[in-house]
Structure 1
Amino acid sequence: MDYIIGMDIGTTSTKAVLYDLKGTVITNTSESYELHRDAMGMAEQEPEDILTAVTTTLKRMISQIDWKKDRLRTVSFSSANQSLIALDENYQPLTRIITWGDTRAAPAAKKIKNSDQGQELYERTGTPIHPMSLLCKISWLKEDVPEVYNKAAYYCGIKEYVLYRLFGIWQMDVSVASCTGMYNIFELQWDEKALELTGVSKEQLPKVVDAYEQFSGMKKEYATITGCPQDVTFVQGAFDGALSNLGVNAIDEGVAAVTIGTSGAIRMVSDHPVIDPKGRIFCYALTKNLWVIGGPVNNGGVVFSWAKDNLFDAEKSTADLLGKDSYDLLTEVASQVPAGSDGLLFHPFLGGERAPIWDANARGSFFGLAQMHTRAHMVRAVLEGIVYNLYTVLLALEEVLGQPDSILATGGFARSELWRQMLSDVFERPVTIPQAFESSCLGAAVVGMKSIGVIEELAEVKNFVGETTTYAPNPEHFNVYRELVPIYIRLTRQLQTEYQTIADFQRRYAENGEDAD
């Protein structure tokens, strides 16, 4: 038997899936790690924790292979994008991993966005000006953390750091590079103006390679730890969002993929870069010939987790008593409430927001709360708010690429019947749920297959996705949502005028360690 491993170095865990050459899942594993939020706006991880998670999951997959009769053809990588590690001249970390969810670069982002070159930078790099990007993170270090900036000899993201530690190679795939805000997506090279702004040279950044780049020769100490032969071929891969599109077979024009995990996104694929004149959506590479256009949101499943942990302790206890998953019980509770939550709206901006408003100061809120509303209304409103926000991203995407012919949905929320139907009802069109398991891992595996010649085209992923289920919109529901979504959008615009005010208030009291009252 020949095998391929798809590995996803994600925001909350590293996942690995062992496939045969027909894309059949043989086994899978994951290893979680901590997200540090020690200060307002901070979202960091320990590089060593993630390196250990990668070697641990790889070891588990390697242990499933009978090396006397089986072969591991390749291991291919997916990873979260827009993470930053500053390194010294010996490639030792000067910082933890500053993840995409870290918003401390908000002042730097605002300064760049309001400058003469803000829009031009977006139009060359395809990355909206936001604290998530390496452009803004490095600018923040330069202005506010000079003791790190002045010592930094190199900068990279988590995948590049892991590969350097495992193989001694210093390279970044074009997919991850295109998410930095420092890479010219039309010239396919580091952008001179972005480098000038940050004061970083090309030599301080990794060499940019295509997704199909192969390498081998794992360092002996890690080959011993993982049990991986040093002659096994590894493939660079791409960032997780692009590979998730590939993993659900959403790479043809006119097909949109909706993903809701910890965060969320809507993406479509084009054979050329596409820029939004209003700067609301990103344009990132999958490979040098395929471009993923879409919008990410900070607030997906993490908002539902917040609601579960902070609003519904009783239901959580009941779930434990019944031996049920607390998320499943909460969606059952929410399903008893009519579509539209009897006029209760929720803006899910608990962690600031990226698309479509790109405002790190955005905050969450319930609107329309009345005596008739119960906690059940609140949990349904939370779910609906997440979907409303994704729908506003789709509206922006449609302005530049047109309406999609079909919509595929994946991620942790996709297991919920209520959420699947809600997505179709709010979007007012059919939504298809692919059977594909861990779509980013499958996408990575497919890139690996093409790199080593097992398949000729990425489109062959259609043979690996499996069965699908389609949900049609319920007219009674979407008529309700037709009334509520415009209110939701108008409220977002009105509240934006106060987001910075309340965020500044929260930061001031958090920094001073005082009670707000």
Structure 2
Amino acid sequence: MGVIVGLDVGTTAAKAVAVDTASGWRTSANAEYRLDAPRPRWQVQDPSAVLAAVDTVLAEVARAVGDRGGGAGSSRSAGGASRARPTGATGELEVLGVGTAMHGLIGMDAELRPVTELITWADTRAHAEAAELRAQGRATELLERSGTPVHPMSPLTKLMWFGRHDRSTLHAARHWIGLKDLVLLHLTGRVVTELSTASASGLVDLAARDWSPGSLDLAGVSREQLPDILPTTALLELSSAAADRTGLPSGLPVNSGATDGPLGNLGTGAIAPGVAGMSIGTSGAVRTVVPEPRTDSRGRLFCYALTDDAWVLGGAVSNGGLVMRWAAETFLPQADGTARDAEALALAAQAPPGSDGLVMLPYLLGERAPLWDPDLSGSYLGVRHAHGREHFMRAALEGVCLQMADLVDVLDGVTPVTEVRCTGGVFRSGLWRGVMAAALGRPLVPTDDAEGSALGSVALALLATGRADDLTGALAQVAPAGGADEAVEVPEADRATYARVRGRTLDLLRGYGELAEHLADLADARG
């Protein structure tokens, strides 16, 4: 048995974790990159910056594995980098599992050079195309067929946008691929995708596990422009070029892997019936594993693949940790970097639960589940003279937590949720954990690791290589030693407070509706 490397390429950072399943030894690396907004509604990234971060984190864990082997399990590449040999002995590299964020889209020319930026899930330029499909009554049909809600996040609507607004680029692109496909191309030289990424595109027929002709017609692309769909347990090989960049061994098996949401469930142990996985990074999501594709009757939830017989039902919010970061930048403009994040949490903690009646609707980027409205705007409600920066800061955090609690309730209406397991850097904070647990009103169990999706890549790679018979067995091999397995304890008074806040939010919204009617009457009288 050797070391398994899990890669998680997210919205603002790439993470890699290496795990020796025999000894429990682990190491990890992280590299950040920017999310750019060159125009209103656009949220894009430079593909080269993302791929440079991938190389950086893989090189770092490769060095750590080589150093741990004391030279016995390493060699030198032509460039002089330490390279661990995949001989199968304990401490040496065995396989690389790959996970990425979903819904990305990038056009490539015939020479596999980008002709677009990486258009991320947060990009809502295709809002009119999504709205048109909904107005035509096609949203339910498309969701049931593809598992992906009709929303400008999806590659389906993004491709429709190119067909209407940038046909020259649409025609210049020989290939249309996602973030996962870009990373696999970078690592293996192959233009392929896998079922998890494809199932989040809006372009797949889940029953057939293949591209949907009807969706391709809507998107204006041909089957030949899209990559072949592999199982999430498929094995490829690391190219010699990637080996030279990272110090990993050429020919190292590369598991095609899945997307970050389903892998987050796996990595945090949220794969049993009744257990939901919650992750909060830049965005956020709640998901539970079901044995076959399914959706809810009101079209509020997605359904994406983890493996062919394990599907993740849930919803994603666009406004997760970015809301607190926005609040920190707005209300603490003089602070900087990680110090600002800590100062923001300290300031929020000064306000009482419920923020003395101040409520934030955290829709800074519109919203996905359960509302699926990219045009929603965020706001603070119930502002009073006594409210200070600490109240605005805490209300931002509470707004995210209450939105996530609403999503858990929607999921519980489709399949029972008895426990929520959470992952993400925000949950290192006791304030985040406490507010979320109180808002949920049901057990919240933090994992001891903020790298749930990367660990999920490790576990899925174990299944892909035959080192485990099923997902449960794979998870057992990578479960963090000493992991937290107790629910967060919160005062009953806090639970009651947040239950009241939910009701107060509805009352405030009704009040503002009455105000809008009153102002409309005044306008009519003046006219």
> Which residue is equivalent to 2:340?
326
Which stretch has the larger CA shift, 113-122 or 368-377? 113-122
Q: Would you say 1:210 and 2:231 are equivalent positions?
A: yes
TM-score w.r.t. length of structure 1: 0.90
Give 1:68's match in structure 2, choosing from 72, 89, 94.
Answer: 72
> Which residue is equivalent to 1:119?
140
Letter aligned with residue 452 of structure 2: S
Contact 1:238 1:444 in 2 (8 A): yes
1:449 and 1:493, CA in 2 relative to 1: closer, same or farther beyond 3 A?
A: farther
SS at match of 1:471: coil
Summarize the alignment of residues 98-177 of structure 1 with structure 2, pairs less than 5 Å apart: 98-177=119-198
Shift of residue 462, structure 1, vs aligned partner: 3.9
Shift of residue 492, structure 1, vs aligned partner: 6.4
Letter aligned with residue 125 of structure 2: R
Shift of residue 162, structure 1, vs aligned partner: 2.4
Contact 1:237 1:448 in 2 (8 A): yes
Deviations 1:375-409 (A, max 9, x none): 1111111111001111111121112113x121111
**What CA distance in whole angstroms lies between the structure 2 residues aligned with 1:355 and 1:490?**
22
> Which residue is equivalent to 2:275?
255
> Which residue is equivalent to 1:360?
374
1:370 and 1:498, CA in 2 relative to 1: closer, same or farther beyond 3 A?
A: closer
**What CA distance in whole angstroms lies between the structure 2 residues aligned with 1:130 and 1:255?**
27
> Which residue is equivalent to 1:481?
498
Q: Percent identity?
A: 34
1:22 and 1:86, CA in 2 relative to 1: closer, same or farther beyond 3 A?
A: same
1:136 and 1:251, CA in 2 relative to 1: closer, same or farther beyond 3 A?
A: same
1:495 and 1:210, CA in 2 relative to 1: closer, same or farther beyond 3 A?
A: farther
Shift of residue 245, structure 1, vs aligned partner: 0.6
Shift of residue 471, structure 1, vs aligned partner: 1.2
Shift of residue 496, structure 1, vs aligned partner: 10
1:28 and 1:276, CA in 2 relative to 1: closer, same or farther beyond 3 A?
A: same
Which stretch has the larger CA shift, 246-255 or 115-124? 115-124
**What CA distance in whole angstroms lies between the structure 2 residues aligned with 1:326 and 1:185?**
44
1:88 and 1:498, CA in 2 relative to 1: closer, same or farther beyond 3 A?
A: farther
1:379 and 1:387, CA in 2 relative to 1: closer, same or farther beyond 3 A?
A: same
Which stretch has the larger CA shift, 279-288 or 113-122? 113-122
Which stretch has the larger CA shift, 159-168 or 86-95? 159-168
**What CA distance in whole angstroms lies between the structure 2 residues aligned with 1:277 and 1:292?**
16
**What CA distance in whole angstroms lies between the structure 1 residues aligned with 2:49 and 2:509?**
38
Give 1:284's match in structure 2, choosing from 282, 286, 304.
Answer: 304
SS at match of 2:411: helix
Letter aligned with residue 47 of structure 1: P
1:50 and 1:211, CA in 2 relative to 1: closer, same or farther beyond 3 A?
A: same
1:337 and 1:141, CA in 2 relative to 1: closer, same or farther beyond 3 A?
A: same
Deviations 1:295-316 (A, max 9, x none): 10111111101111111236x3
Shift of residue 78, structure 1, vs aligned partner: 0.7
SS at match of 2:351: coil
1:254 and 1:498, CA in 2 relative to 1: closer, same or farther beyond 3 A?
A: farther
Give 1:347's match in structure 2, choosing from 361, 374, 380.
Answer: 361
> Which residue is equivalent to 1:96?
117
Which stretch has the larger CA shift, 59-68 or 236-245? 59-68
Deviations 1:41-80 (A, max 9, x none): 1111111112222122222222222463342100110101
Deviations 1:141-190 (A, max 9, x none): 11111111122221001221222233221211100110001111222111
Contact 2:418 2:443 in 1 (8 A): no
Q: Would you say 1:8 and 2:8 are equivalent positions?
A: yes
**What CA distance in whole angstroms lies between the structure 2 residues aligned with 1:291 and 1:489?**
34
**What CA distance in whole angstroms lies between the structure 2 residues aligned with 1:264 and 1:496?**
29
> Which residue is equivalent to 2:457?
444
Letter aligned with residue 68 of structure 1: A
Contact 1:429 1:472 in 2 (8 A): no
1:234 and 1:375, CA in 2 relative to 1: closer, same or farther beyond 3 A?
A: same
SS at match of 1:401: coil
SS at match of 2:435: helix
> Which residue is equivalent to 1:242?
262
Deviations 1:436-476 (A, max 9, x none): 34111100001111111222221131451342142134221
**What CA distance in whole angstroms lies between the structure 2 residues aligned with 1:443 and 1:214?**
16
SS at match of 2:172: coil
**What CA distance in whole angstroms lies between the structure 2 residues aligned with 1:336 and 1:357?**
31
Which stretch has the larger CA shift, 100-109 or 60-69? 60-69
Q: Would you say 1:472 and 2:472 are equivalent positions?
A: no
Shift of residue 280, structure 1, vs aligned partner: 0.8
**What CA distance in whole angstroms lies between the structure 2 residues aligned with 1:447 and 1:349?**
34
**What CA distance in whole angstroms lies between the structure 2 residues aligned with 1:494 and 1:23?**
60
Contact 1:134 1:181 in 2 (8 A): yes
Contact 2:425 2:450 in 1 (8 A): no
Deviations 1:67-125 (A, max 9, x none): 63342100110101000001222222110100000111111111112114332011111
Letter aligned with residue 341 of structure 2: Y
Deviations 1:181-220 (A, max 9, x none): 11112221111211111121211111111111001151x3
Shift of residue 498, structure 1, vs aligned partner: 13
Letter aligned with residue 420 of structure 1: R
**What CA distance in whole angstroms lies between the structure 1 residues aligned with 2:510 and 2:372?**
12
**What CA distance in whole angstroms lies between the structure 1 residues aligned with 2:188 and 2:515?**
49
**What CA distance in whole angstroms lies between the structure 1 residues aligned with 2:507 and 2:224?**
46
Give the 4+ runs in structure 1 shifted more than 6 A.
492-499
**What CA distance in whole angstroms lies between the structure 1 residues aligned with 2:438 and 2:350?**
16
Shift of residue 340, structure 1, vs aligned partner: 0.9
**What CA distance in whole angstroms lies between the structure 1 residues aligned with 2:512 and 2:459?**
43
Letter aligned with residue 161 of structure 1: L
**What CA distance in whole angstroms lies between the structure 1 residues aligned with 2:511 and 2:421?**
32
Aligned pair count reads: 491
Summarize the alignment of residues 288-327 of structure 1 with structure 2, pairs less than 5 Å apart: 288-313=308-333, 316=335, 325-327=339-341
**What CA distance in whole angstroms lies between the structure 2 residues aligned with 1:57 and 1:496?**
50
Letter aligned with residue 20 of structure 1: D
